[in-house]
């Protein structure tokens, strides 16, 4: 099995990068071979593993431009079966550069093709926008996970993301499917959270993961130590929630 998964929501601050880091780490803990691709110019996934994001090492930008082959961009992490293609703030200029090129939506697909079958899962951290970088991620992906914060504006912009997914299916990647919707930063004590959960479940049905990711201090602290929460505090609610979500993810894969 080799599955490429995009984690996307054009709304920022919804736990997208946190999900990429901790789903990837939890899959690696389940002895799956995993590659993370930091495709967000903020490069928070990269710094979340203690790697530099300001051009000190080859990044996904050099990969896209053809300056460095994919094998030389991949970095190891503290988990033996988890590797990463680092991001870089230089990626912010890539969208403009790609816009002028032919076949611009296929650059990431072409870059990952030589190694895509070396991993059980490749997980792409998308930028919080629906531009060319996200388009490249959706074109190469088999499935999409949408993290959503359990707050008032949770559904805002989701219809535009779904329209983009439909356009990608029609024009570039007919096999792209929505794997699941993950509710993050949940405080189940509030009526608002309960209302948002109900609204999301009504809209997406069985695609919504039963596991809810809570607001959790350890989950928020872990990136500043360059670690997934699994390695920072495995007993925390945040770590246990991502482990449970990963079990659910794998069960859906059969």
Bridge partners for 125 per DSSP? 7, 38
Q: What's the pLDDT tens digit per position in 156-179?
A: 888 889 999 999 999 999 999 999
Q: Which of 190, 179, 181 is nearest to 212 (CA)?
A: 181
Specify the pLDDT at position 92. 86
Specify the pLDDT at position 97. 86
Strands (E), the chain: 3-7, 34-38, 75-76, 82-85, 121-125, 143-149, 177-184
Residue with tokens 């531009």: 131
| Mean pLDDT confidence for 52-60 | 84
Report whether 179 contacts 8 (CB < 8 A): no
Q: What's the pLDDT tens digit per position in 59-101?
A: 999 999 888 999 999 999 999 999 999 999 989 888 888 888 8
Q: pLDDT averaged over the chain?
A: 93
Please state, for a pLDDT cut of 90, what percent of the chain lies above it. 76
- Provide the angle, in degrees to the nearest 10, between the axes of the packed helices 132-140 and 158-171: 60
Indicate whether 145 pLDDT > 80: yes
Strand pairing report for 34-38 and 121-125: parallel
Indicate whether 188 pLDDT > 90: no
Q: How many domains does the chain divide into?
A: 1
Q: What's the pLDDT tens digit per position in 107-122?
A: 999 999 999 999 999 9
Indicate whether 254 pLDDT > 80: no
Confidence label for 53 from pLDDT (cuts 50, 70 and 90): confident
Structural domain harbouring 55: 3-253
CATH number of 92's domain: 3.40.50.300
Indicate whether 1 pLDDT > 70: no
Q: Which of 51-55, 91-95, 181-185, 197-201 has the highest mean pLDDT?
A: 181-185
Confidence label for 48 from pLDDT (cuts 50, 70 and 90): very high
């Amino acid at each position: 099995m080799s599955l490429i998964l995009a984690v996307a929501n054009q709304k920022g601050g919804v736990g997208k990068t946190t999900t990429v880091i901790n789903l990837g780490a939890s899959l690696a803990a389940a002895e799956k071979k995993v590659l993370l691709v930091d495709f967000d110019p903020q490069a928070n996934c990269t710094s979340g593993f203690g790697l530099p994001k300001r051009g000190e090492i080859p990044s996904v930008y050099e990969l896209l431009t053809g300056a460095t082959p994919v094998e030389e961009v991949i970095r190891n992490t503290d988990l033996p079966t988890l590797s990463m293609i680092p991001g870089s703030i230089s990626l912010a200029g890539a969208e403009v550069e790609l816009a002028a090129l032919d076949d611009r939506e296929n650059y990431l697909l072409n870059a990952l093709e030589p190694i895509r079958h070396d991993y059980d899962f490749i997980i792409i951290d998308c930028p919080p926008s629906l531009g060319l970088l996200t388009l490249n991620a959706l074109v190469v992906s088999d499935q999409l996970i949408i993290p959503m914060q359990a707050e008032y504006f949770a559904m805002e912009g989701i219809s535009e993301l779904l329209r983009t997914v439909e356009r990608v299916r029609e024009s570039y990647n007919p096999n792209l499917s929505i794997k699941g919707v993950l509710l993050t930063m949940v405080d189940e004590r509030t009526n608002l959270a309960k209302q948002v959960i109900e609204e999301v479940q009504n809209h997406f049905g069985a695609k919504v993961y039963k596991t809810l990711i809570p607001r959790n201090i350890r989950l928020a602290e872990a990136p500043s130590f360059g670690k997934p929460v699994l390695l920072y505090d495995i007993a925390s609610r945040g770590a246990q929630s991502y482990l449970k979500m990963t079990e659910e993810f794998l069960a859906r894969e059969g």
